[in-house]
Amino acid sequence: MPDFSNLKSKKVLVSGGAGFIGSNLCEALLQHGANVTCLDNFATGKRENIEPFFSNPEFTLIEGDIRDVETCRKACENQDFVLHQAALGSVPRSINDPITSNEVNVGGFLKMLVAAKDAGVTRFVYAASSSTYGDSESLPKVEDVIGKPLSPYAITKYVDELYADVFKRTYDFDTIGLRYFNVFGRRQDPNGAYAAVIPKFVMKLMANESPVINGGGEYSRDFTYIDNVVLMNLLALTSDNPEAQNEVYNTAFGERTTLNDLVKYLKEYLSEFDPRIADVEVKYGDYRKGDVPHSLASIDKAKILLNYNPQFSMKEGLKEAVTWYWNNLK
């Protein structure tokens, strides 16, 4: 891990800080001596994710919604940096309710941008998404080649990138966007209709029940362990390379895994805790609307401009994640 001692005593706002990724960012920032403010409305974030930080005098919680501009202004006051993670994730959720996804992901993003700009925040790093690549079939995905969006969620995340670009051109406000690729790891919620595939499969297997794969299982993803994502965020916050500013970056490991292989690895790692899991059968369902068949990131741009060197391969991260789930949710 690089030296992030320059974060010491910096004031950092993490919107969506009680969520899966946000809480891991809060934890890392506190470990590096930053003064952290978490803004969350607990729509998808969880209080238990941040409870360990409540006793830390460098941690502040603001309970509020990014759709309210005054809340955004209050949260951005006197902040040096913003890590904007607050959003309504999930392609299926956006298909079922495109209006709310747009209100949060576009309207809330814009209000955070305005509040941060007006407050004099010096760096604004935001969660973008690999869904922006849409129907582009080229692999690996490179940042300047995208297709047409395949879901309302993808549209919202692409609009955020457009707004960030305009804020640089119009207001000279610096941003960095991080296109997350299928992030997984500790604290990722396994419950609910829109739970991500890895924690959902893990919970099924731990209960000795059959996970259901959408389609034939040959769709592939660049699954990215949470510690790689934390590293990218900290690099984006602290980079002194002027060429690195006002860009978007793939945030991934740069390796793709099919869903069939994913389940094979999960069964292998979980059966070390319960041998019966090795014999659990897999079921197959229908393909899901809005799903991209294959996803694989080029991380060359991040390596060159941000000195990004991911620490965990997918399989290394999966072992860590499986152990965390077994110890915390079994």
Extract long-range pairs of 9-12: CB within 8 Å, 24+ residues apart: 9/33, 9/34, 9/35, 10/34, 10/35, 10/80, 10/81, 11/35, 11/37, 11/78, 11/79, 11/80, 11/81, 12/36, 12/37, 12/79, 12/80, 12/81, 12/82, 12/83, 12/237
Q: How far apart are CA 102 and CA 105, in angstroms?
A: 5
Q: Which residues of 250-277 are buried (b: 16+ CB within 10 A; e: fewer)?
A: bbbbbbbbbbeebbebbbebbeeeeeeb
Nearest to 10 by CA among 234, 177, 230, 178: 234
Contacts of residue 276, Cβ cutoff 8 Å, sequence gap at least 6 = 208
275 DSSP 8-state letter: G
H and E: helices and strands count for the chain: 12, 13
Q: How far apart are CA 291 and CA 275, in angstroms?
A: 33
Give the residue numbers marked as catalytic: 153
Q: How far apart are CA 303 and CA 244, in angstroms?
A: 11
Q: Helix %, strand %, coil % for the chain, to 5? A: 45, 15, 40
